[in-house]
Amino acid sequence: MMLFFIGAAVVLIFWFFISTRSKRKAYEAFNALDEAELWFSDEGIISSSVFFSAYDDPVLVRNFGASVIVGSGDKADGSPVGFVLEVAKGSGVIEGVYLEPYGIASDHRTGSQIAKMKNVPLIEVMLEMADQHRSEDWG
């Protein structure tokens, strides 16, 4: 019976650690999104239409202390756009690029793995992936 309580305590502690870490990461991601709001507004992107993933890995950024947001959304005219942003707390968007085709933003996981292997910023890898996709479609 004692082993059951020890096992339950270990599971509870593990769950608490994972849950707290996940909530912290989600909070950081939404802070980065808040910092990007002005850029969305300036670019005519409807912020409520934005789907994104955020990365807080220093290996993936050009600008020290920034976070990366990769996502897509709709402009006011209804046209979809893909983007990669580097966002810093208190500074907003430091660097932002559009991805054409916009759907390449959904390959951000592959892009982040490539960026880590090559030790280059995610923004560069995503632009390269978009260029490659366009050349395959049109060439």
| Ordered per-residue pLDDT tens for the chain, 139 residues | 777 777 766 766 766 556 655 555 544 544 778 889 999 999 999 999 999 999 989 999 999 989 999 999 999 999 999 999 999 888 899 999 999 999 999 999 999 999 999 999 999 999 999 999 888 865 4
CB of 60 within 8 A of CB of 122? yes
pLDDT of 27 reads 47
Q: Which residues contact 26 (CB under 8 A, 6 or more apart)?
A: none
Residue 93: strand pairing partners: 87
- pLDDT, residue 21, reads 55
For residue 66, the SS3 value is coil
Q: What is the pTM of this model?
A: 0.75
Long-range contacts of 74-78 (CB under 8 A, 24+ apart): 74/45, 74/46, 74/49, 75/43, 75/44, 75/45, 75/46, 76/44, 76/45, 76/46, 77/44
55 beta partners: 68
